[in-house]
Amino acid sequence: MLIPYREALNQAMREEMRRDDRIFLIGEEVGHYQGAFKVSKGFVEEFGSQRVLDTPITEAGFTGLAIGAAIAGLHPIVELMTFNFGILALDQIVNNAAKIRYMSGGQLSVPIVIRGPGSAAHQLGAQHSQSLEAWFCHVPGLKVIAPATPHDAKGLLKSAVRDQNPVIFIEAQLLYGTKGEVQEGEYTIPIGQAEVKRQGKDVTIVAYSKMLLLALEVAELLAREGIEAEVVDPRTLKPLDLATITGSVKKTGRLVIVEEGWRFAGLGAQIAESVYAEAFDYLDAPIVRVTGADVPMPYARPLEDAAIPDREGVLAAVRQLIKGGH
């Protein structure tokens, strides 16, 4: 069935909350307002205010509360109105959620999902348009997921809820209204499993979250020029399915990595280093990264567009790589 991304997330949480009454949703306006992006539509009516908890504007507070609840045996889903606000909860996420299993010698676990919108939308300004996934990937103890399609969003969110470790689940804001096929019935997608979204032989394009849609669009345009691009979606950023990525690179001999985040110390740098280590002898050209600009996100629309990877930028990167340039 063809459904929006937000509905896929709604289905995943609804199914899991019906399956296990230890699961609850907590965050700002998740209850009676049904979520800032209507992901929790209908939840208060079905599950009640004891399992769908509206909170004050205090990310550190309700994230810490949820971590404590997870340690005590519940399975909280924390919705951040935006991951930009998650910065306020970093102490709880990094120093508590990510470390308690290790520091307790495995005696305690923190089965918590922290989810919500990330990356730029349209003219939200520098403080509300950041792609922070590389920050969370840097922290041992956290799993990080950034699905691009409704099918993947549903299957991976269900897996995240069932995981016994803290999971960061980032949903690009501009994806909520996008539609895609979602199979009916029960299914999950394993955490840490990438997927080849398009087969090709000339170049590999690795992209995740909303950049995947851009990569697929570029691949279709390249096909008209006789260039067959293989598009790989990591889906899970940590743990990273390097085997699928390197398998594609070994076939095509070229790699372009597209990410919306900042270039310096970005996730693409880690992917490139890993591919160089595992598949250097198979590369016919240097790896190319297409990233967001290393600037605070501008508010003016033309400048915002210039700071985010676009179709022409990715096309140019692939064409130069195919021609042997860098």
The letter for the amino acid at 100 is: I
Encoded tokens for 283: 């590369």
**What are phi and psi for residue 23, nearest 5 degrees?**
-85, 130
Closest-CA residue to 78 (of 166, 151, 6): 166
Rg (CA), the chain: 20
Active site residue 32: no
Helices and strands (H and E) in the chain: how many: 12, 14
Active-site annotation holder among 15, 29, 128, 195? 128
Active site residue 59: yes
Strand-pairing partners, residue 280, are none
Question: 10 Å Cβ neighbour count for 73?
Answer: 9
Active-site annotation holder among 7, 16, 28, 59? 59
CA distance to 24, 52, 110, 307, 309, per residue, from 74 (Å): 8, 13, 9, 41, 40
Closest-CA residue to 109 (of 75, 65, 160): 75
So which residues are the catalytic ones? 59, 128
